[in-house]
Chains A and B, each alone.
Chain A
Amino acid sequence: EAGVAQSPRYKIIEKRQSVAFWCNPISGHATLYWYQQILGQGPKLLIQFQNNGVVDDSQLPKDRFSAERLKGVDSTLKIQPAKLEDSAVYLCASSLRSGIGNQPQHFGDGTRLSIL
């Protein structure tokens, strides 16, 4: 089966600019996650979707970050305006279902964002 697809692979922007990342989960996976991974740290959950509804966005900086999953399939994460501290790898993951704690997550390769 095809894995989780993310694009772009790398992105370099200046602070205060905007940027968008795209993710296509594994076919049939209802749950989609966006994580931020700062260098040397573990992934931190930004937002979790179940189909096209938001399950958890408690750690999403909503003043600058937004995400959508309009048709319950692919998703877009946007940052506007970007700050220096947003430099990180943004990982997308999917799992078959949520509400079940033992579901392993399948991750994409991530987008490495550098803010100048």
Chain B
Amino acid sequence: AQKVTQAQTEISVVEKEDVTLDCVYETRDTTYYLFWYKQPPSGELVFLIRRNSFDEQNEISGRYSWNFQKSTSSFNFTITASQVVDSAVYFCALSEYSGTYKYIFGTGTRLKVLA
């Protein structure tokens, strides 16, 4: 069973629009961690945000915000006022314990921001 699902394969928006990237996860652990990474065309994955399972407070950091809801096992990521430089593939990842903490990545959502 896929543990991290990113149902949106590709999203296109016009610059300055807000965009939300969806992530649904599956885990039996009560303690786990969720992350968002950005992979620009250069290829290097860049860490963006993380959330602990015991802290459901949603936050805003600059143009980024996230909505963590344990009841629906979702960890959605929003970019406000998108810019062309936001164009990249975005990955949601789950860190859960199985002998050691392991990362499981989703399949990614390709975001295209058009000028």
Contacts and interface: CB of A to CB of B under 8 A. Distances in A.
A89 B47 contact: no
Given A102-B95, A105-B47, A107-B45, A41 B101 contact: no
Contacts of B33: 101-102
- The prevalent SS among residues of B at the interface is strand
A108 B101 contact: no
B44 A102 contact: no
Interface in B14-35: 31-33, 35
Contact of B107 (A33, A41, A99, A102): A41
A112 to B, nearest CB: 8
A93 B43 CA distance: 13
B90 to A, nearest CB: 11
B44 A43 contact: no
A101 B32 contact: yes
B101 A98 contact: yes
A45 interface: yes
Interface string A5-32: 0000000000000000000000000000
B107 A55 contact: no
B102 A45 contact: yes
Nearest to B42: A109
Interface in B50-77: 50, 52
Interface in A38-70: 40-45, 48, 55-56
Contacts of B100: 48, 55-56, 98-99
6 contacts: A45-B102, A48-B100, A98-B100, A103-B95, A104-B35, A105-B103
Interface of A: 3, 33, 40-45, 48, 55-56, 89, 91, 93, 98-110, 112
